[in-house]
Amino acid sequence: MKRFGLPGMVVGLFMLCWLSPGGDGIAFAASDSPPDLVDAIFWDEDPATPGLQQSFLGVESVEKAFNNGRRIEEVQLGLTPGVLGMLALPAQEVWDRMTDDAKALYIINAERQARGLATLGISGLPMTGIESHIDQNAAWYGDYLYDNNLTEFTDPDYLGANSPFSRIDKNPDLGESATYGACHEYLHYAENIAYFAEISANGPPPLPLPLERAIYNWIYTPRYLQGSTSWDQRRAVLVQSRTLDMPAYEYGYKNNHGESGSEGYLGIYVRIGTRYNAGDPLQNGLYYTGGVVVMDIFDPIGDLAERQTGDRPCHYNPGVGRLAAASFTGLAERHVTELPNDRWVQLTPGGEPGKGEQSVQAIFGDDLPLAGYGTDWIVFAFDPVSNMYTTLSLNDALVPRQAYWVLQRTGSDVMVDMPPSTSEAYVQYCDDAECMEPLPCNSAKGCVVIPLQTSPARDLWQMIGHPSRASIPVDQVQVVTIGGGPCENGCNLNTAALYYVVGDQFWHYDGSGYTAMTTVGPWEGFWVLAKQTSSYTPVLLLPLP
C-alpha cells in the first residue's frame, strides 16, 4: 500500500501523408470516418475581416482558427450549424507547460471527437495516447529530415526502410522483428509530415506555432499533387475503423486493444532550428528559421492475439494517456488542467455549485486508472471546522469553489478534462439566502463568488479555488462582508486584512513549498485565512476578465 504524505498547511504565513496502396473514390455512406472537405479552409483568426488574419499569437489564435475551420466545414458538408462544437484549449500558461506530445494529442483527439456524428455514422473515437516506440520513430525521421534539409518520405539509410510502413516493420519493438512477431495491425495510413521555413536578412525570423499549424493544415487543407488534390493527410488524422476509399474493409483502427472507447497510438516530433530551409539550399548572408513536424501512427494488435503469446508480450509503452471522451456536441465546452506526476496539486473543479456536482470518478476516472485509486492516485478534502483531512471515495462529490489535494503517481504527467467553466449565471450565486442581495462586483462580466466559513472561537484556514479558465490578479479580488461588518461595500484584500476580516495573502503550493499568489490561475486551489467572527459572512469576489 502506497503512502501519501500531504504537504503541510500554511502556518503563519507544407504537408505530406503516406498511405498504403488502395483504390480512389469516396464512399462516405459506408465509412465511419469523416468525409473530405470540398475546398481548402486556410488558417484565419477573424473571418469578418477581409484577407487571412494570421497573428499566430498563442492559444487564442489557435482556438479562433480551428473554430472558424469547423464553421466553414459545416457549411461545405451541409451540417447543422454548430454541430462540430468549439475547440477550447487550456489557458496559455498551462498550454506553454505542456509537451508537444500532450498538445498534439489534445488537439487531434478534440478534432476526432468533434466529428463523432451518429446521424452520419461517424464514430469519432479518440486515440489511446502517445506510445514511446512510435514516438521514437517520428523523432528519428524528423531529425533525419532536418539534418539533411529534406522534405521526403524515404530514408534509405535507416535499417533498409524506405517508407513509413517499413520503418514501423523494422522497429524492434513494433515490427516484424519484434520478439513475438509483428506488434501492429494493418493500418491504411502511417505518417504525416509538415515542414516550414522562414527567411530574413535581419536575423533569424520567428516561426510561431509550428505544431498547431501543422495539425490544422493536415485537417483543413489538401495536399497538391501534379495538378490534383489529395485529402490523405486529413484522413490519416481522423480515420476511424473504415477508410473512405475502401469502406468495405477495416483498414483503419480495429478497436480490439484495451478499452473500447479509444484506439491507436500516436508519435509526434517537432524540430525547429536555424539550419533548415525545407529542401532549398541555404545561402550566405540570410537567416533561416525552419523545421519539420512528423506524426506517426500505428494500430496495436488485439488483446486476444496478445494473450495467445503471453502477458502483453508486445511491450507497448504508453506515455501521455488519452484525454477523456468529452461532449463536443453543439457548443458544449470542457477544459483541461495538468496533473504532474508525483506532485501534490491544489485543484478545484469547474461548474456551478448546486447544479449537479460531479464525483471523483466522473472528473478523474476517465483520465486516471480507476483500479489504481488509493495506490496510484488519490484525492483529499480539508474541513476547516475540524481542521482535518478526509480521503474521498470515488463516489464522493467534488464541489466547485472548494479545493482538493490531488496526487497521481502513474509515471507520467496527466491532462484532466474539467467540467464547463463558470458561466455568467453563476457570478452572483451564494449558498446563504442573505448572499442573494446584489454584490459590488467590479467586472462587467460578473464575479466568481466564494463565501468563507467563520468561527466565533478562532481563525479558520480553508482551502478554496477558482472554478474558471480565466486567470485573475489577486489585487483585483474584492472582499464583501455580508450581514454587516467593515467591508459591506467591498474592500480589496489588503484593506480587508487591516480590518481583520481575512488574511492578506492567498497561499498556493507549487510542488516544493508555499508561495504568496499574485495571480489565481484556472482551477487553482489556495489557502485563505478567515478571521474569527460571528457577526458577518466574508465573501470573496473574483472578477471575470
Query: 295 and 343 in one domain?
Result: no
Residue 56 forms part of a structural domain: no
Residue 466 forms part of a structural domain: yes
443 pLDDT above the threshold of 90 = no
Between residues 217 and 426, the one the model is more confident about: 217
Show the CA angle centred on residue 155, arms to residues 151 and 158, nearest 5°: 145
Residue 93 forms part of a structural domain: no
SS3 assignment, position 48: coil
* Grid coordinates belonging to 495: 484593506
Final residue in a domain of this structure, among 260, 290, 321: 321
> What gap in Å lies between CA 502 and CA 490, rounded to an integer?
13
Query: 317 and 339 in one domain?
Result: no
SS3 assignment, position 66: helix
Query: 311 and 352 in one domain?
Result: no
SS3 assignment, position 440: coil
CB proximity list for 259: less than 8 A, separation 6 or greater: 128
Query: Taking the model in full, what pTM does it have?
Result: 0.59
Residue 25 forms part of a structural domain: yes
Residue 50 forms part of a structural domain: no
420 pLDDT above the threshold of 70 = no
Residue 137, domain CATH? 3.40.33.10
Query: 365 and 259 in one domain?
Result: no
- 436 confidence band (pLDDT: 50, 70, 90): very low
pLDDT at 301: 84
> What gap in Å lies between CA 349 and CA 242, rounded to an integer?
37
The domain tally of the chain equals 2
2 pLDDT above the threshold of 80 = no
Query: 394 and 518 in one domain?
Result: yes
Residue 257, number of CB atoms within 10 A of its CB: 23
Of all residues in the chain, the percent with pLDDT exceeding 70 is 79
> Is the separation of the CB atoms in 318 and 130 below 8 Å?
yes
434 pLDDT above the threshold of 60 = no
At 489-537, the pLDDT tens digits run 899 999 999 999 999 999 999 888 899 999 888 888 999 999 999 899 9
Query: 450 and 358 in one domain?
Result: yes
| Poorest-pLDDT segment among 134-148, 239-253, 401-415, 461-475 | 239-253
SS3 content of the chain, % helix, strand, coil (to 5): 20, 25, 55
| Residue 386 lies in domain | 335-545
What is the pLDDT of the chain when averaged over all its residues? 80
Q: Which residue has cell 502483453?
A: 312
| Poorest-pLDDT segment among 3-12, 161-170, 181-190, 379-388 | 3-12
Final residue in a domain of this structure, among 321, 353, 377: 321
At 85-123, the pLDDT tens digits run 899 898 888 888 888 988 999 999 999 989 987 567 788
Query: 367 and 269 in one domain?
Result: no
pLDDT at 125: 87
pLDDT at 335: 58
Query: 373 and 502 in one domain?
Result: yes
Of all residues in the chain, the percent with pLDDT exceeding 90 is 35
Query: 298 and 374 in one domain?
Result: no
246 pLDDT above the threshold of 70 = yes
226 pLDDT above the threshold of 80 = no
pLDDT at 424: 34
Query: 223 and 344 in one domain?
Result: no
* Grid coordinates belonging to 233: 493527410
Q: Average pLDDT for residues 292-315, to the nearest whole number?
A: 73
Final residue in a domain of this structure, among 296, 321, 346: 321
Q: Average pLDDT for residues 318-326, to the nearest whole number?
A: 45
Residue 517 forms part of a structural domain: yes
Query: 363 and 307 in one domain?
Result: no
At 374-386, the pLDDT tens digits run 999 999 999 999 8
Residue 31 forms part of a structural domain: yes
Query: 342 and 317 in one domain?
Result: no
pLDDT at 238: 94
Residue 330 forms part of a structural domain: no
153 pLDDT above the threshold of 70 = no
